[in-house]
Amino acid sequence: MRNIIFKELKELSRDGRFKSAVVISCILLLLALITGVNQYKKSNQQLTESVSKERAIWETQGAKNPHSAAHYGTYAFKPKFALSLLDYGVTKYTGNSIFLEAHNRNEASFSEATDQTSLARFGTLSINFVLIYLFPLIIILIGYNSYTKELENKTLTMLKSQGVSSVKLILGKWFATIIPIFILTIFTFLVIGVVLSNVHDLAFFSWSSLMTLLGSYLVYYLIISTITVLVSLLSKSSGTSLVSTLLIWILFSFITPKVATNFANEAHPYPSKSEFNAAVAEDKKNGLDGHNPWNEAAQKLESETLEEYGVDKISELPFNYSGYRMQKGEEHEAQIYKKHYDILNEIAIKQNKVYGSLSFLSPFISLRFLSMDVSNTSDKLHWKFTNAAEKYRLQKQEFLNYDIKDNSKYGERGYTMTEKKFKQLPRFNFTPPTNLEIIKENTQNILFLCLWLFLPFVGLLIFSKNK
Amino acid sequence: MITTNNITKKYGDFTAINDLSFNVNEGEILCLLGANGAGKSTIINILLNFTLPTLGTAEINNLDVIKNPIKTKEFLTYIPENLMLYPTLSAVENLDYFTKLSNKTFDQQQLQNYLSKAGLEKAAHNNRVNTFSKGMRQKVGIALAIAKESKVLLLDEPTSGLDPKSSNEFISLLKKMKDDGVAILMATHDLFRAKEVSTHIGIMRSGILENYSSTSELTLKQLETIYLDIMNFKNVS
């Protein structure tokens, strides 16, 4: 088999089409890497500046009433993850910062897409684009005629007369299809790894995540290689094989993902922005259960608190009731937001499930989910970020409200919190899941990829035995 | 060395070969003559185990070709009517590849020697074979047989389409291989070449071996008469 592999590789090295495709892909990769790194550095610098500027504004706002400060608000910024350089995922559309203020849970804003012109609709060059669309095309270019050329050139007869078994021949061709793309991919990832390692202020870069991504892409290329060689084995001519493999590539990369999006949206539609706001307003007005609005709940809270402390008036309480009530009010509203954002999250999860379940039509879907998750650029990660930001918002509100509660008197006007105290507010800190956690979360995608590899490979062995 | 025992091959109702038996020993060349569809290529395909016989057995070097499909191929080299090689590889590289597939490894010098023995000019050794004529490609095939030390050579219309010079060169090579003890089975239409090179001649018609003679017992004229007679062209002759 080694001889077959070497011969195939030697022929390939003399194939002008292959050499051109590799050169073009390498140039595109280089361009994507250069622009990606520059973009990353720029975005990361903006982020770092924004984080420190926002914090400085917060810390130097001077003595101020804590509730005014709560309304004045701060921002929670999503880190610019290192591997987003490789796979942008949904980051262009999800926004990278959330305004944190009293009484309101806001959505992330300042997405890259909103900062770009309509030209952005045509897409941008990224490393991921080359990896998921162009590399499979190179595989097709290498392997579409791997078997049919032996038929067409009539060299198959010579091979068979030398006693070469069909299985050995096909496996040799399979390896010869895989090896060039493996070398190219491993080299690409090593270059990316070295470049990333040398970028300053890199957020959450780990070689293990990069290697997981590499592994995922290699498995995907194995699948494409296996299918390409299998189609060549089953085709009567190279032309038929090429057209068939390209159709499969189109089905995998374009048709199925788009159909899956339509299915997911149809099966679990997202409410419009106005519907969502109306539902939140309704619950704010009438309470979570529809008949227990905050003003009634606030009255109940007051009587319960008075009873608990054995006093008749709130002015007799050992703390400033206003701060306490504001905090409880915040928690009440937070529950309403939680309810509605949980509904949205649930819809997103269901949509992703529908989308993911169509992986049986295309391994591309599993790869995309896995790649975005490992790169921390997925919708799932964005939800984790927004939930973390909301948790921090509540923590911040509690910090401010309890300052009023503990340090001011009921009815006291003009109370201010010192600048020093503002500095004590913990910073927002978002840590993404570990690589291992991501792998566990993606068990289904990994299984789908393994299945996609296993079945065509078995097909390859069975059909080659019959040749 | 090459033995067929009562081979019959049927495709549905059509009988391609009917009860065919022959033997080709070391240092013998059997030329199978016959019109298209006579069954000449079918018998070669059976010996290569590309086609299974309906009845009977075929042996190469006393090994049943069906029971030992890989082993029997170690002893033989097959040169089809139009021997095709890998166009982007040179003659040396093609030879290197095919010999390695037969589990034999040679250095560059040895490979070039084999090509020279097969009559391929040295200047062509490292040229890509996409520039080669049919005759040159067949010389690479012969070089393979020499390198493999094949005991059996199966040839299917090897001289068809060759110019006279190439044809003569090829026939000379076959004679040399015969003298070296190789058993050769050659399917051909070419009576003149068959008479020139063979030790035995078999004339086939509709899958039946109508005549089997020692070449030395026949003159070319006699051979032509027998051939045409069998082919039902008596009146023409």
Q: Tell me the CATH number at B65.
A: 3.40.50.300
How close, in Å, is residue A351 to chain B by CA atoms? 51
Cβ contact A10–B100 (<8 Å): no
Residues B142 and B164 in one domain: no
For B202, which DSSP code? E
Cβ contact A10–B82 (<8 Å): no
Residues B39 and B125 in one domain: no
Amino acid at B68: N
Q: Is the pLDDT of residue A439 over 60?
A: yes
Ranges of each domain in chain A: 2-465
Q: Is the pLDDT of residue B234 over 60?
A: no
Residues B101 and B90 in one domain: yes
Confidence of residue B96 (pLDDT cuts 50, 70, 90): very high
Confidence of residue B237 (pLDDT cuts 50, 70, 90): very low
Confidence of residue B142 (pLDDT cuts 50, 70, 90): confident
Interval A334-360: pLDDT, tens = 888 888 889 988 998 898 888 888 888
Q: What are the structure tokens assigned to A179, written together?
A: 């090896």
Closest chain B residue by Cα to residue A155? B84
Q: Is the pLDDT of residue A69 over 50?
A: yes
Counting the structural domains of chain B, the total is 2
Residues B91 and B67 in one domain: no
Most confident of A242-251, B4-13, B130-139: A242-251
Residues B159 and B233 in one domain: yes
Which of the listed residues B120, B150, B180 is the one where a domain comes to its end? B150
Mean pLDDT of chain A: 88
Q: List Cα–Cα distances, B64 to A168, B2, B18, B42, in angstroms.
A: 23, 10, 19, 17
Interval A82-118: pLDDT, tens = 888 888 888 878 888 889 988 888 887 766 656 665 6
* Domain interval for residue B11: 1-75+152-237
Predicted pLDDT at A291: 64
Mean pLDDT of chain B: 86
Confidence of residue B81 (pLDDT cuts 50, 70, 90): confident
- Picking from A152, A156, A162, A173 by the largest number of B CB atoms within 10 A of its own CB, the best residue to mutate is A162
Gyration radius of chain B over CA positions: 18
The mean pLDDT of A247-256, rounded to a whole number, is 93
Q: Is the pLDDT of residue A413 over 50?
A: yes
Predicted pLDDT at B165: 80
Predicted pLDDT at A198: 84
B156, β-bridge pairs: B187
Interface of B with A (CB under 8 A): 48, 50, 69-74, 76-78, 80, 82-89, 93, 97-98, 100-102, 154
Confidence of residue A449 (pLDDT cuts 50, 70, 90): very high
What is the DSSP secondary-structure string of A305-348?
A: HHHHHT-SSGGGSSS-HHHHHHHHHHHHHHHHHHHHHHHHHHHH
Say if the ipTM goes beyond 0.90.
Answer: no
3-state helix, strand, coil in chain B (%, to 5): 40, 25, 35
* Contact status, residue A406 vs residue A322, Cβ threshold 8 Å: no
Q: Is the pLDDT of residue A425 over 80?
A: yes
Q: Is the pLDDT of residue A201 over 80?
A: no
Confidence of residue A139 (pLDDT cuts 50, 70, 90): very high
Residues B109 and B146 in one domain: yes
Predicted pLDDT at A393: 93
Residues B144 and B160 in one domain: no
Q: Using CA atoms, how far apart are residues A53 and A56, in angstroms rounded to an integer?
A: 5
Instruction: With CA atoms as reference, report the closest residue to A175 among A137, A139, A213, A130.
Output: A139
Confidence of residue B54 (pLDDT cuts 50, 70, 90): very high
Predicted pLDDT at A353: 87
Closest chain A residue by Cα to residue B69? A163
Residue linked to tokens 């219309």:
B157
Cβ contact A157–B93 (<8 Å): no
Residues B180 and B145 in one domain: no
